[in-house]
Amino acid sequence: MSLGRRLKALRKNNGLTQQGLADIAGVSRIYIQALESNRRMPSMKLLRRLAQSLGASVSDIADDALSGSIRVQLEELLLSGEFDVWYRARRLSNSETKRIERVISALLEDLGSDDSPS
């Protein structure tokens, strides 16, 4: 089942309209509609808010629908804080790692600009 269909099923099981879920999650109804029709892909931050709004887990909504998404993988890596960054067989220092985190954050912000409420 697609992410959109799962989101819609969970929303309906919770007795919420698209507008109701949008209000709770802090996005527009149009954006919820786009998610449910699989025209948009939420960021991990929004996915967590949606899951919380629906009393579900992220995996209840996403499951394998997001497993191939590079954006989701980058966000998970960045948010975990549990990684070592190596470049050319050398472990990067903390300051170098922070610089990489800033680059990843900037990329994710750019990718996530589509997640802004309309």
The CATH number of the domain holding residue 96 is: 1.10.260.40
pLDDT tens readout for residues 36-65: 998 888 888 899 999 999 998 888 887 655
Full residue range of the structural domain in which residue 44 is found: 3-115
SS3 116: coil
Q: What is the pLDDT of residue 16?
A: 96
pLDDT tens readout for residues 1-47: 688 888 998 999 899 999 999 999 999 999 999 999 988 888 888 99
Q: What is the pLDDT of residue 76?
A: 62
Q: What is the pLDDT of residue 78?
A: 61
Q: Is the four-CA dihedral 59, 42, 28, 103 of positive or negative sign? A: positive
- Mean pLDDT (whole number) for 57-83: 64
Q: How many structural domains does the chain have?
A: 1
Q: What is the pLDDT of residue 118?
A: 45
Distances (CA, A) of 23 to 9, 16, 39, 60, 68: 18, 10, 20, 20, 29
Asked whether residue 79 carries a pLDDT value surpassing 90, the answer given is no
DSSP state of 54: T
